[in-house]
Chains A and B, each alone.
Chain A
Amino acid sequence: SYELTQPPSVSVSPGQTARITCSGDALPKQYAYWYQQKPGQAPVLVIYKDNERPSGIPERFSGSSSGTTVTLTISGVQAEDEADYYCQSADSSGTYRVFGGGTKLTVL
């Protein structure tokens, strides 16, 4: 079945820019969505349709897409951004959704 690949971990210092990638063969034709999950909490949608930001999500969160890779960028990382981040998309036929394996963002 279809898979999305993310790096297991990313580390940045406060104020720097964090970039989390997600790769998948169907990404050129399917939208990507990004979720933030903090320990003991349900996920929160932070980016939809590759690069749109839901209301209430800080402007430092942005998304981009290039070919088979999508990227979540967090500019000016803050300590509160430390969390697990998951990309989500669909298989090439749009039959079902999948999540990437998740990336743990550590703020040093």
Chain B
Amino acid sequence: EVQLVQSGAEVKKPGESLKISCKGSGYSFTSYWIAWVRQMPGKGLEWMGIIYPGDSDTRYSPSSQGHVTISADKSISTAYLQWSSLKASDTALYYCTRRDATGIAADVSTGGFDYWGQGTLVTVSS
């Protein structure tokens, strides 16, 4: 059974750093792209970026570039989303999700997202 299990909720202060995780199981972790999606309280979905754990090829949305870092450790089938200096506006629910097999190699414009983690709630407040 394919599963993406995310790390637990976090409460941080502005300016602090944070790294949240997403562990994949039940499939070949290095063969599928993993994306991160943000959902601010009561708002819609925002695509942040995507990584291919097989070679760590990473792409970012324009709004996320420079604000977060996406990485992966294929030895433990885990993808990460990290911040070096959190802001109150980073308060949101963060999902990791797997790009499905209809995606075409490194063309990140293709493929649906078929499995999702349970979400990690990040709260940034002084």
Residues of A that sit less than 8 Å from B by CB: 1, 30-31, 33, 35, 37, 42-45, 48-49, 52, 54, 84, 86, 88-91, 94-102
Contacts and interface: CB of A to CB of B under 8 A. Distances in A.
Contact of A31 (B44, B109, B117): B109
11 contacts: A1-B62, A31-B110, A33-B112, A42-B97, A42-B116, A43-B113, A48-B102, A48-B112, A49-B110, A88-B45, A91-B109
Contacts of A101: 44
A49 B44 CA distance: 21
Given A45-B114, A96-B61, A86 B45 contact: yes
A18 to B, nearest CB: 18
A89 B110 CA distance: 8
What is the size category of the interface that chain B forms with chain A? 20 to 34
Contacts of B44: 84, 86, 99-102
A101 B62 CA distance: 17
B7 interface: no
B102 A90 contact: no
B47 A99 contact: yes
Given A86-B45, A96-B47, A99-B47, A45 B113 contact: yes
